[in-house]
C-alpha cells in the first residue's frame, strides 16, 4: 500500500509523463468527453486489434483528470474489451488513491466514462450494415 505522499507522486508522474497520450489515426471510435465545471477534456481513441484493446487519449485539464486518463490507458491496453469494460468507477478511484481523488470524483472518472462511450460508439458502428 502506498503512502499518501507516494500516491501523490504517482499521480504527478502520470500527469507529467502521460502514457498513451497521442492520437490513434486508425481508431475504430473517437469520443470526446468533458467536465464543463472545471474545463477537463478527454478524447479517447479506441480500436480492437487481434481481440485486444488499443487505446490512447488526448486532453487537457486538471492533474487528476489527466493522470486518470494516463493510468486508465495503461490499464486497458492489451486487455479484451470485456475485461476493460469491467473496470468500474470504484476500482478506478481505488487505484488512483481514493482518499486523494474522492473530492474530485468527476475528474477522476471522466476518462472511464469517455472510454465507455467510445466502446458503445464502436459497437454501434460494428452493427451497421456495410
Which pLDDT tens digit goes with each residue over 56-105? 999 999 999 999 999 999 999 999 999 999 999 999 999 999 999 999 99
| Angstrom distances, CA of residue 14 to CA of 55, 57, 62, 115, 123 | 16, 13, 12, 18, 29
Asked whether residue 84 is domain-assigned, the answer is: yes
Asked whether residue 128 is domain-assigned, the answer is: no
Asked whether residue 130 is domain-assigned, the answer is: no
CATH number at residue 21: 3.90.1010.10
Beta-carbon contacts of 106 under 8 Å, excluding residues fewer than 6 positions away, are: 35, 37, 38
Asked whether residue 129 is domain-assigned, the answer is: no
What pLDDT sits at residue 130? 58
**Helix (H, G, I), strand (E, B), or coil: what is residue 21?**
strand
Domains identified in the chain, total number: 1
Evaluate if residue 36 carries a pLDDT over 80.
no
What pLDDT sits at residue 88? 97
Which pLDDT band holds residue 128 (cuts at 50, 70, 90)?
A: confident
Domain enclosing residue 93, as ranges: 4-123
Asked whether residue 13 is domain-assigned, the answer is: yes
Amino acid at each position: 500500500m502506498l503512502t499518501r505522499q507516494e500516491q501523490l507522486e504517482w499521480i504527478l508522474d502520470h500527469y507529467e509523463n502521460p502514457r498513451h497520450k497521442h492520437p490513434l489515426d486508425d481508431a475504430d471510435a473517437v469520443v470526446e468527453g468533458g467536465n464543463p465545471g472545471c474545463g477537463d477534456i478527454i478524447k479517447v481513441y479506441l480500436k480492437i486489434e487481434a481481440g485486444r484493446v488499443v487505446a490512447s487519449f488526448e486532453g487537457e485539464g486538471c492533474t487528476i483528470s489527466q493522470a486518470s486518463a494516463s493510468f486508465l490507458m495503461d490499464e486497458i491496453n492489451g486487455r479484451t474489451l470485456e475485461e476493460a469494460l469491467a473496470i468500474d468507477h470504484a476500482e478506478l478511484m481505488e487505484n488512483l488513491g481514493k482518499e486523494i481523488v474522492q473530492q474530485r470524483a468527476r475528474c477522476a472518472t471522466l476518462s472511464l466514462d469517455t472510454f465507455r462511450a467510445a466502446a458503445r460508439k464502436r459497437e454501434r458502428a460494428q452493427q451497421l450494415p456495410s
